[in-house]
Amino acid sequence: MKLITEEVSKVKFISEGKGANKKLYIEGVFLQGGIKNRNGRMYPVETLSREVGRYNESFVKKGRALGELGHPDGPTVNLDRVSHKITSLVQEGNNFRGKAQLLSTPMGKIASSLIDEGVTLGVSSRGVGSLREDNTGAKVVGEDFQLATAADIVADPSAPDAFVNGIMEGKEWVWDGGTLREQLASRTKRRINTLVDQKRLEEQKLSLFSEFLSNL
């Protein structure tokens, strides 16, 4: 299964309460099915509906639906990077509207400060699943899709990390003893980090990417 992330920029950041009781929330469409998105992928509505139902029962209703600040490398939620808790995720036609509360964690405080200073942020869903191409050229997400989080908080997806994140999204993930294990690209990530340190990433991008694709 592949790590699949989708950026959503049209979300609202709203505050409720005042003073010590003030809470900051993210609200908007977190997931969208039935249409080809800007990444060329299409999520069948029935697949999303089933998976959102499981996610709500297993995570949202139990207060365990967490998201991170930034672009994680894999499908696991890292507790040291958690910035918010998803409090609701409901279906509205082909859309799935969510709401998340910013937490008073270190990453939650950073996200809150960025928002207070007027920084435009978006959210990105994260999950794992297979992909197949249909006759329109869209990459259809398979029925095995599993949502890791409905929303991570992210900045501009065209930021310098875009190349690294694109590489990491192409990794294979397999179930191993009930946990998701990285099948490919830990070596690639180490090489990327080394090249960044040596300021040689630009010149090595093409060969690195070609080598990565040949191993998929």
Q: What is the pLDDT along the chain (216 residues), one digit of tens a residue?
A: 678 887 776 778 788 877 777 788 989 889 999 988 878 889 999 999 999 999 999 999 999 999 999 878 788 899 999 999 999 999 999 999 999 999 999 999 999 888 888 887 888 889 999 999 988 888 999 999 999 999 998 875 433 333 334 444 555 655 555 555 555 455 556 665 565 555 565 566 556 556 655 554
| pLDDT score at 167 | 44
- Per the annotation, the verdict on 207 as an active-site residue is no
Q: Which strands sit side by side in the sheet containing 146-154, from one edge to the other?
A: 2-8, 122-129, 146-154
Q: Which of 83, 112, 124, 125 is catalytic?
A: 124
Whole-number Cα distances in Å, 37 to 54, 67, 98, 106, 133: 23, 22, 18, 33, 14
Measure the CA–CA gap between 143 and 51, rounded to whole angstroms. Answer: 9
- Per the annotation, the verdict on 71 as an active-site residue is yes
| pLDDT score at 35 | 87
| pLDDT score at 108 | 93
* Pairing, β 66-68 against β 122-129: unpaired
| pLDDT score at 164 | 39
Q: Which of 71, 83, 84, 112 is catalytic?
A: 71
Query: Do the beta carbons of residue 152 and residue 69 sit within 8 Å?
Result: yes
Residue spans of the domains in the chain: they are 2-155
Measure the CA–CA gap between 84 and 102, rounded to whole angstroms. Answer: 4
Tell me which residue of 67, 88, 85, 84 sits closest to 76, measured CA to CA. Answer: 67
